[in-house]
Amino acid sequence: MTAPEGPLKQTPLNALHRAMGAKMVPFGDWDMPVQYRGILDEHRAVRSAAGLFDVSHMGEVEFRGPGALAALQRLTSNDAARLQVGQVQYSALTTAAGTFVDDLTVYRLAEDRYLVTLNAGNIKKDLAWMREHATGAVIEDQSDATALVAIQGPRASAILQALTSVDLAAIPYYWFARGMVLGGEALLSRTGYTGEDGFEVYVPAERAAALWSALVEKGTPVGLLPCGLGARDTLRLEAKMALYGNDIDENHTVLEADLGWIVKLQKGDFIGRDALARQKAAGVTRKLVGFEMEGRGIARTHYAIVKDGVRIGDVTSGAPSPWLHKPIGLGYVAIAHAAVGTPIEILIRDQPVAARIVPTPFYKRPR
Amino acid sequence: MYPAELRYSKEHEWVKVEGTRGRIGLTHHAQSALGDVVFVEVPKVGRAVKQMEAFGVVESVKAVSDVYSPVSGAVVEVNVGLETAPELVNKDCYGAGWLVVVEMASPKELDALMDATAYQAFLASEGH
């Protein structure tokens, strides 16, 4: 990330994070909590009980009007026409080359109303892109007025249920409901970025602090911890959920990122369709894979991946996995070396250290 | 948090003088700023180290940080326990979490380091 210009932006929960003792760091343009008690404790809390995350820095943009669906179909690679009201879809905002302007989730709010959730660092770029390449829909940025709190983990649903009349058990994975939480309107989405069951709760910015405090109060007795971006990163890595700017960007296509399931070539034309159709027919020449370290060392972003002394790719994400108790990572490698089981090496401080390509996700929650 | 018998460097290492040797570790501030330490790499016994030059690496979940030697000399002992329990750097930074012992080439170098009071003033001046 480039250094921010001017003062850092704050989410509506900034003062609460500071009062609760979070360690704050600059994250893009934002002043965000990187950890509370510690990344490892927070990570384990999410896997075993629950964790609470402030992700209010993310962007929320509404598409409205009779042209809303057509605009989204033109802009994104997944098939938004398949969405029923109340359903969520993971998708990509694609360039003409089939690479990522951003990745996003698309919510169908009503017949002609959709909400898309964007990465914080891409909001301005995405808005400009969407307004340039799609006409016929009203596109409204609601990012500043919207707070987003994620509660994740096996106990998330029970904790949140205490604050709402909405029947959470009736909401399937990647569906949402709107209803009252703590006496105010909220959107409750059964989605997340941790590999666990849980919800992402959208509320007006002014009600974020009350929601956060109530969830901490209800959750603490059953093991909930407030979490920072550090644990969010290790959790999503274990679940092999891509991080924009690391694993996906404008230089790698959706197919190369191994996200072919969000590319629906049959749905009709969209930006990047031709490039992706050609690439699908010809086959990708590199692919995002997961690996585990076998030698002693931790792979980090930008480290070289080598085989027999030849560079075959780069690490895009790497960290010690608290779940597997060994370092893991993601990276793009030449397709000839992308098969599961392939021994590779990661160049760590000029020394090759043994690693192996493994099946992903690294972590799959028990169901 | 900052024992009076130790000397401290601006890179947040401590030295405990043991005769002609110096035992070296990370300060409370350093381990706290790093967060959960998950990996430690220090030089082998016999390697020469120089004052204020990087001689090892400590990694937390999120970040990789160089460790600088507060004194010059030859490494005579390394804490092999950190290979399997790097978290000792967090749990006991002045005790079981020590990094290496160095046979000091020039004990006069200690004069360039801070005592506990000066180190705490230094931390405050850095805004910690």
The DSSP letter of residue B107 is G
- Predicted ipTM > 0.90: no
* Run of H or E including A327: strand A326-334
- Tell whether B123 is covered by a domain: no
Backbone angles phi and psi of A31, in degrees to 5: -95, 105
Examine domains A59-141 and A285-358 and report if their fold is the same.
no
From A116, A284, A134, select the one nearest A202 (Cα to Cα): A116
The DSSP letter of residue A222 is G
Q: What is the pLDDT of residue A366?
A: 86
Out of B38, B57, B83, name the one closest to residue A320 (CB): B38
Contact B45, B15 (CB under 8 A): no
Between these two residues, A6 and B38, which has the higher pLDDT value?
Answer: B38
Task: Give contacts of B38 with chain A, Cβ < 8 Å.
Answer: 298, 320
| A contact set with B (CB within 8 A) | 23, 34-35, 38-40, 230, 233-234, 296-298, 300, 319-320, 322, 349
Average pLDDT over residues A87-100: 98
Task: Output the DSSP codes for A118-130.
Answer: E-GGGHHHHHHHH
Q: Residues with Cβ < 8 Å from A217, sequence gap 6 or more?
A: none
- Rounded to the nearest angstrom, the minimum Cα separation between A230 and chain B is 7
Domain that holds residue B61: 27-100
Q: Do A38 and B59 touch (CB under 8 A)?
A: no
Crossing angle (nearest 10°) for helices A39-48 and A229-238: 50
Per residue in A309-343, pLDDT tens? 999 999 999 999 999 999 999 999 999 999 999 99
Residue B80 belongs to domain with CATH number = 2.40.50.100
For B37, the closest chain A residue by CA position comes to A40
What is this structure's pTM?
0.95
Q: How far does Cα A358 stand from its chain's mean position? A: 21
Contact A77, A270 (CB under 8 A): yes
Q: Where are the domains of chain A?
A: 14-58+144-238, 59-141, 285-358
Task: Give contacts of B83 with chain A, Cβ < 8 Å.
Answer: 296
User: What confidence tier does B127 reach under pLDDT thresholds 50, 70, 90?
Assistant: confident
For A319, the closest chain B residue by CA position comes to B61
Q: What is the pLDDT of residue A1?
A: 47
- CATH for the stretch A14-58+144-238: 3.30.1360.120
- Tell whether B58 is covered by a domain: yes
- Residue from A1, A27, A35 whose CB has the most chain B CBs within 10 Å, to mutate: A35
Per residue in B71-97, pLDDT tens? 999 999 999 999 999 999 999 999 999
- Rounded to the nearest angstrom, the minimum Cα separation between B61 and chain A is 6
Q: What is the pLDDT of residue A4?
A: 54
Average pLDDT over residues A53-71: 98
How many CB pairs lie under 8 A apart between chains A and B?
A: 32
Whole-number percent of chain A with pLDDT over 70:
99
- Domain count across chain B: 1
pLDDT at residue B31 greater than cutoff 50: yes
| B contact set with A (CB within 8 A) | 35-36, 38-39, 57, 59-62, 64, 83
User: What confidence tier does A262 reach under pLDDT thresholds 50, 70, 90?
Assistant: very high
Backbone angles phi and psi of A353, in degrees to 5: -120, 135
Q: Do A38 and B36 touch (CB under 8 A)?
A: yes
Rounded-to-integer distance, Cα B3 and Cα A350, Å: 37
Residue A190's DSSP bridge partners are none
CB neighbours of residue A260 within 10 Å: 16
- CATH for the stretch A59-141: 3.30.70.1400
- Tell whether B2 is covered by a domain: no
A83: its two tokens = 């969405």
Contact A91, A73 (CB under 8 A): no
The domain A285-358 is placed in CATH, from the list 2.120.10.90, 1.10.443.10, 1.10.1740.10, 2.40.30.110, at: 2.40.30.110
For A325, the closest chain B residue by CA position comes to B38
Whole-number percent of chain B with pLDDT over 90:
96
Crossing angle (nearest 10°) for helices A68-75 and A123-133: 110
Q: Do A39 and B62 touch (CB under 8 A)?
A: yes
Q: Do A230 and B39 touch (CB under 8 A)?
A: no
Q: Do A230 and B61 touch (CB under 8 A)?
A: yes
The whole-chain average pLDDT of chain A stands at 97
Q: Do A320 and B64 touch (CB under 8 A)?
A: no
